[in-house]
Amino acid sequence: MFFVFLASGLFLGWSLGANDAANVFGTAVGTRMVKFRTAAIACSIFVVLGAVVGGAGTSHTLGKLGAVNALAGSFTVALAAGLTVAWMTRLRLPVSTSQAIVGAIVGWNLFSGSLTDMESLTQILSSWILCPILAGVFAVGLLKLTQLFFRFARFHLFTIDSGTRLGLLVVGAFASYSLGANNIANVMGVFVPSSPLGDLHIMGLFKLSGDQQLFFLGAIAIGVGVFTYSKKVMLTVGNDLFRLSPIAALIVVLAQAIVLFLFSSEQLENLLASNGLPTLPLVPVSSSQAVIGAVVGVGLAKGGRNIKWGVLGRIASGWVSTPLIAGLISFVCLYFVQNVFSQKVHSPIPYEFSHQAAMKLRGLNTYGDELDELIGKRFKSAVEFQDAVGQIVESESLANGVVELSELHPLLVDVEALAPQLDYHWYSKEQVHAVFRLHGRRFDYAWQLADALASISDSWRLKPSTKKNKLYNKGIKAKLQHLNGLFLTNLAPPN
């Protein structure tokens, strides 16, 4: 059944391959510098590599935006995004898969009564502004460097031509890798929470996690999209906005690849964080936006006279309409899938403000006793609970804190049954000991398990929130999330 539902994700992957591959190799193929066949093969191979090796980072952010927790819901969300992309492509409107999937997930949040994580949404929205600007800045820098290089270097026109071809292929491969790493979350991210796939050991040589297998399937779909439909798009892309020379095309693709890489590389984030430097959020950005930012950068650096601002305006309007349309289609499709096809599109997450939650809030010195009237009442959805809280407290941050603490996530620590699934290379000895000491304990909330573990062992304690500690805390939170998934049990009936 899972693979039937996965079909919509594969469809979305196909449309991503058909569209976004054009951003990577469009100018190279459009100017006949690289043959379509060569471009398609290089693009497919490196998209798969990027997706499997580096696809995890951005899928976490999408997961935080809205954890689509039922398979039919994931199917519908991916279908809505895929339909939006395919429809807008048919209308010859520029479209971004990242924006379509974010719109579709927010549509699911609205339909299921789940809260949209504003921090993730803000991160994603700001990255959509930052991404084209960064790409533009990189493109201008690279252009200046190239101009400087050619001021001193002497190459024959034909040698430059061959070098540019090689460059377009190499940079295109890097851009494909970055596209796979950054955008695979768009295609498969919504299936991660509901995926039944376990680890797969291949001839004892290497291991593919369940997520990586999903990403591999999605990347194959992207590859099929590249081979079957991207040629037409590639041949029309590139010259719409600003006519590019092959070297300028190379600069544009490189700028795009660097930006996609910056927004998806966990290794780079680790490196920056461990040196106390600010990090970029790992979010799926749009390769179309990156390319357009880079093209406009190059155009402006050359005086800006030849940029077709009308075309740019049309493209920018697509950036606003895509998420809105995808959100709307997602909402309508979810309604039909749930009510006409009787499929479960979301698993309700109940909320209850208990004595424990109240005590925890008091411990944090953020709460008096104004919410006591809510104690013991159970709410069916986050939105319903938030409304109730909002009527009592005025402070938005307090209300958000209350909602976060009240999300019921019943856990039963069953070490014996679950020990084989614990990754001993990931967890430290002390951490495993602490988990074992909690064997048999039940918790109503995820934060209770975190607190219990932190009280037993320092190895589970979060450090003060600083740039240097960001990486350490991220690791602890990822392990806690893993345990929350492993120990999830049935909910006790309301009091």
The least CB distance from residue 86 to other proteins, in Å, is 31
DSSP 8-state assignment for residue 123: H
| Residue 146 in contact with other proteins, rule: CB under 8 A | yes
Q: Can you tell me the distance from the alpha carbon of 184 to that of 177, in angstroms, rounded to the nearest whole number?
A: 10
Residue 4 or 157 with smaller CB distance to other proteins: 157
| Residue 157 in contact with other proteins, rule: CB under 8 A | yes
> DSSP per residue over 337-381, as a string?
HHHTS---------EE--HHHHHHHHHTT---STTGGGTT-EESS
Written as six digits, the tokens of 415 are 């070490």
| Residue 42 in contact with other proteins, rule: CB under 8 A | no
| Residue 27 in contact with other proteins, rule: CB under 8 A | no
| Residue 173 in contact with other proteins, rule: CB under 8 A | no
Residue with the two structure tokens 């909910």: 491
| Residue 34 in contact with other proteins, rule: CB under 8 A | yes
Q: Do 171 and 25 touch, CB atoms closer than 8 A?
A: no
Q: Can you tell me the distance from the alpha carbon of 133 to that of 130, in angstroms, rounded to the nearest whole number?
A: 5
Residue 5 or 174 with smaller CB distance to other proteins: 174
| Residue 159 in contact with other proteins, rule: CB under 8 A | yes
The least CB distance from residue 151 to other proteins, in Å, is 7
- Please report, for residues 54, 222, 246, 263, the alpha-carbon distance to residue 135 in angstroms, rounded to integers and kept in the order given: 20, 23, 18, 11
Site string for other proteins, 344-363 (x = CB under 8 A): --------------------
| Residue 207 in contact with other proteins, rule: CB under 8 A | no
Out of 125, 141, 161, 195, the residue judged to bind other proteins by CB under 8 A: 161
Residue 33 or 134 with smaller CB distance to other proteins: 33
The least CB distance from residue 447 to other proteins, in Å, is 56
Residue with the two structure tokens 């991207």: 230
| Residue 248 in contact with other proteins, rule: CB under 8 A | yes
Residue from 264, 241, 331 nearest 60 by CA: 264
Count the neighbouring beta carbons within 10 Å of the beta carbon of residue 220.
18
Out of 35, 344, 433, 477, the residue judged to bind other proteins by CB under 8 A: 35
| Residue 38 in contact with other proteins, rule: CB under 8 A | yes
Range in contact with other proteins (rule: CB under 8 A) among 54-62, 164-172, 222-230, 380-388: 164-172
- Helix locations, 393-445, DSSP H: 396-406, 415-418, 429-437
Q: Can you tell me the distance from the alpha carbon of 315 to that of 121, in angstroms, rounded to the nearest whole number?
A: 22
| Residue 305 in contact with other proteins, rule: CB under 8 A | no
Residue 301 or 403 with smaller CB distance to other proteins: 301
The least CB distance from residue 33 to other proteins, in Å, is 6
Q: Can you tell me the distance from the alpha carbon of 4 to that of 387, in angstroms, rounded to the nearest whole number?
A: 37
The least CB distance from residue 149 to other proteins, in Å, is 9
Out of 223, 246, 327, 350, the residue judged to bind other proteins by CB under 8 A: 246
Written as six digits, the tokens of 235 are 């041949």
| Residue 158 in contact with other proteins, rule: CB under 8 A | yes
Q: Can you tell me the distance from the alpha carbon of 345 to that of 342, in angstroms, rounded to the nearest whole number?
A: 9
Residue 147 or 428 with smaller CB distance to other proteins: 147
Residue 77 or 171 with smaller CB distance to other proteins: 171
- Bridge partners, residue 10, by sequence: none
| Residue 150 in contact with other proteins, rule: CB under 8 A | yes
Q: Do 327 and 104 touch, CB atoms closer than 8 A?
A: yes
User: Hey, is 308 helix, strand or coil?
Assistant: coil
The least CB distance from residue 239 to other proteins, in Å, is 11
Q: Can you tell me the distance from the alpha carbon of 453 to that of 460, in angstroms, rounded to the nearest whole number?
A: 6
Binding residues for other proteins, rule: CB under 8 A, are: 31-35, 38, 143, 146-147, 150-151, 154-159, 161-162, 165-166, 169, 245-248
